[in-house]
Amino acid sequence: MEMEYKDPSGRNRWIIVLGLVFAIVAGAGSYLVMTKAQQTASQPVTAQVITGVVASRPLLARKPLQRDDLAIRTDIPADNTNVNGNLLVTNPDELIGVLLAVDVAPGQLITRNLLASDVAGGEFQILAPGESVGPDSEVWRAIAITVSDDRAVGGMVQAGMHVDVIMTISVVLPDAAAASDQPSRTLPPFYSDPTSKVTYQDMKILARTGTFYILKATLRVAEEISHLQAAGAAQFTFILRPTVDERIINLSAFGETTNRILQRYGLLLPVMIPVATYPSAPPIPAITPAPTAAPSATPAPSPTTSPAPSASSAG
């Protein structure tokens, strides 16, 4: 039986044709991709911009803003510092009469965290930028404390600073005579004296007017301060904190009385001197009175003497 011979050249031609087709398609696809990439690269990139209020001139802190101080910019590049909707101000009318907490340069974007007050005509804001009120948030209030300059770092404490507060209360105990009238009562070994202790730490000064200081305090602390001032039972002293020191110290071992300071530093206790009469040493002699001039008297007459007998007259 003879086998039929088939020429494979026709099949090979189809394979070559298909290869050429695939090559053309791949080349065309690569050309289109490269062309599109070049066109995209040649087009300018449009950055996202926002609209906000900026300073039209140099602005000073603690000065109410006026309409002429503000301008609107619509081409501010958006970034992580200004896209926060809570900080961005787009209407300049919202800032009229509001105080800045810091100086602002011309053209600088004015955001809410730069404000000393978020209410027109206000001198301060109680909540810091980023703080909010919620069911579990701290209950913050503002309380006024009267502190003389000698107890406020010489009057150098200003708004924005942080202080610790020393409370001094005068403790008055009944004297021993009053206690002896009640035999059943035992008088403890205490005595009347002022007592002082650091009671409040890291309190922010919101504002100051003379010797009146407005402090940010929790509702409980504000209640305590109000009571002590109304009763006239306490004096307050400010001690200034370094700006970078945010530590809260354990105050369980703090507290001062005069007696404790005397013991700590070994100061001598005053001793009562017994009442007695002490002679002078040496004794001072009595002063001799000056003599008094006697009145002049008439001189007495001289006595008459008989002359002695001479020898010629004798015998």
Q: Does residue 246 carry a pLDDT above 80?
A: yes
Mean pLDDT of 87-109: 85
Q: Coil, strand or helix: which one is 67?
A: helix
In this prediction, residue 3 has a pLDDT band, given cuts at 50, 70 and 90, of: low
**Which tens digits make up the pLDDT trace of 162-192?**
999 999 999 888 765 555 555 555 656 778 8
Residue 217's pLDDT is: 96
Task: Say how far apart CA 89 and CA 108 lie, in whole Å.
Answer: 12
Q: What is the pLDDT of residue 312?
A: 47
- The ranges assigned to domains in the chain are 49-114, 140-181+188-265
Least confident of 114-118, 236-240, 293-297: 293-297
More confident residue, 297 or 152: 152
Mean predicted lDDT score pLDDT of the chain: 79
Of the candidates 203, 264, 191, 192, the one whose C-alpha atom is nearest the C-alpha of residue 237 is: 203
- Which pLDDT score is estimated for 314? 43
Task: Give the CA diameter of the chain.
Answer: 246
| Antiparallel, parallel or unpaired: β 212-218 and 193-209 | antiparallel
Is pLDDT at 28 greater than 70 in this prediction? yes
pLDDT digits over 62-80, tens only? 788 889 999 998 888 887 7
Instruction: State percent of the chain over pLDDT 90.
Output: 34
Kindly state the percentage of the chain with pLDDT values over 70: 74
pLDDT of residue 64: 82
Strand partners, 209: 212
> How many Å apart are CA 283 and CA 293, to the nearest integer?
31
SS3 313: coil
What is 49-114's CATH topology?
A: Type Iii Antifreeze Protein Isoform Hplc 12 (3.90.1210)
**109 contacts 50 by C-beta, under 8 angstroms:** no
What is the pLDDT, as a whole number, of residue 61? 80
Residue 59 above 70 pLDDT?
yes
Phi, psi of 299 (to 5 degrees): -65, 140
| Separation in Å, CA 291 to CA 107, 288, 294, 297 | 103, 9, 9, 18
Are 62 and 117 spatial neighbours (Cβ–Cβ below 8 Å)?
A: no
Answer whether 0.85 is exceeded by the pTM. no
Contact 129, 113 (CB under 8 A): yes
Instruction: Give the pLDDT score at 280.
Output: 61
Tell me the residue length of the chain.
Answer: 315
Cα separation, 288 vs 286, whole angstroms = 6
For position 88, what pLDDT does the model report?
A: 81
